[in-house]
Chains A and B, each alone.
Chain A
Amino acid sequence: MRPLLAALGLLLAWEGFVRWSEVPPFLLPAPVRVAEVLVSRWDILLGHAGTTLTEILLGLLLGTLLGTGMALLLAAWRGARRWLLPLLIASQAIPVFAIAPLLTLWLGFGLASKIAMATIIIFFPVATAFYDGLRRTEPGWLDLAATMGAGRAAVLWRIRVPAALPGLASGLRVAAAVAPIGAVVGEWVGASAGLGYVMLQANGRSQTDMMFAALAILAAMAMALWFATDRLLRALLPWQPDQLSEEA
């Protein structure tokens, strides 16, 4: 309830500022004007939002699969740690934005290049968070498993992986937050649909209100995605200690 009130207060201040200062609408449209565009252009915006959402969800799915796969490979195989880990870390020095044009060149203007973009941006937080969790297994559990005669595979699947799930969950929360960035950046570089494309077109025609409308939908989608992910992870990991949410 409190966040809603805070947002409402912010919107009111914005509306008041625009009316009082008489900023031209192509610089800063008032919230009411943005809301009007949202309503009148709803059909167009909805179609583009659907495109962006598809890119985000497919990117999340692929990035999560590849990221967890990489983390498991690194944890299970020393060769991978020696050869792949330095490469993986070095690859993060390349700004994702810089490869966006390449992806468009290789994969075209359609969905594929945006999904690839979102996948790349999601892969790293998922892989590192999960791998970190896999490395930091409570040593006592490993000792106990050793005295019980457990093999390496059993230790990995029954102890290391479940123990690393809270770490993976943090990675997935970050992934859910950055996924929309990947999709939108992909759309900016070259697209024929999606909210990023709408923003770029609207910006070129000084339809700032339309741009804000697309932005509002994108923000709403990103927030919904984050909260859904957070809820889902909490439900799936009920044993994970969470001191902050228990405090009233």
Chain B
Amino acid sequence: MAPSDGVSLGVSLGVFLPGIRLGGRAVLGRLALDFAGGEVTALLGPSGVGKSTLLRLLAGLLPVPEGSRIAPADGLPLKGRIAWMGQQDLLLPWLDLEANVTLGARLRGQRPDPARARSLIAAVGLQGRERARSAELSGGMRQRAALARTLMEDRPFVLMDEPFSAVDAPTRHRLQSLAAGLLQGRTVLLVTHDPLEALRLAHRVLVLRPGPGGAVPEEHPMPPSPPPRAAHDPDVLAAQAALLERLAEAA
């Protein structure tokens, strides 16, 4: 979905972290990463390796350690320019779908844009359900609503923490195709456990490998075609097998 006026997309993001310790344990090692503007970077790795920590750090949900540098290429701060999508849909049960999609504006005391909200609701295939509360929606519908809410924020940077892990496989497949189209042009960091999801959606795949000084990211070779890739593409399937083996090793 196209951004509103004044929101420039395709901004790349440079991140340098001196290493993160949580509770006396080295979680993330020293890392320097450049997330290319307008591209989807998938971040994989064994459970507890620090994927979510990195994402929460960028989202401003954890204090940034001394000596870090988190710098979008346009020189403006990252704060206030990210949209966040988590594992759960996090829809507020007392609000209807449209109010949930426009939550951000109302939390900031701004006037929501109902026309844009409705077109996003239509884009995720939920037109006609604007007045439905979350309890009346299926798991897949709720996750689509969460995607619409994320896009409603209209930010150049999108941080996604296992956004489709809570839904069944066919629904996940459909959601991935939908997200690939709607997120186009935004700089996306996608944390996932699902190698196929990473290979379908991402321009680049990083595997976080645990080490004595904390986890460090490693590049994983990608199929030659650009995303979104078809799940039955032989290159994707071969890369999926290789990625799966690599993840099993890292764990």
Contact = CB atoms under 8 A, between A and B. Distances in A.
A161 to B, nearest CB: 10
B60 A148 contact: no
B107 A148 contact: yes
Contacts of B80: 149
9 contacts: A140-B86, A144-B86, A144-B90, A148-B103, A148-B108, A150-B108, A151-B108, A158-B107, A237-B94
A154 B107 CA distance: 6
Interface string A154-176: 11001100110100000000000
Interface residues of B, number: 24
B86 A154 contact: no
B84 A149 contact: no
- Chain A interface mostly: helix
Interface string A212-248: 0000000000000000000000000101110000000
Contacts of A239: 93-94, 133, 135
B236 to A, nearest CB: 31
B60 A154 contact: no
A237 B95 CA distance: 11
Given A140-B88, A239-B135, A147 B82 contact: yes
Contact of B107 (A155, A237, A241): A155
A240 B133 CA distance: 11
Nearest to B59: A147
Interface in B50-104: 56, 59-61, 80, 82-84, 86, 88, 90, 92-94, 103-104
B109 interface: yes
A22 interface: no
Given A150-B107, A154-B106, 13 more contacts: A138-B90, A140-B88, A141-B90, A141-B92, A143-B84, A144-B90, A146-B61, A147-B61, A147-B159, A150-B108, A154-B108, A155-B107, A241-B135
B92 A159 contact: yes
A61 interface: no
A145 interface: yes
B153 interface: yes
Contacts of A151: 108-109
A208 B88 CA distance: 61
A145 to B, nearest CB: 6
A176 B230 CA distance: 61
Nearest to A140: B90
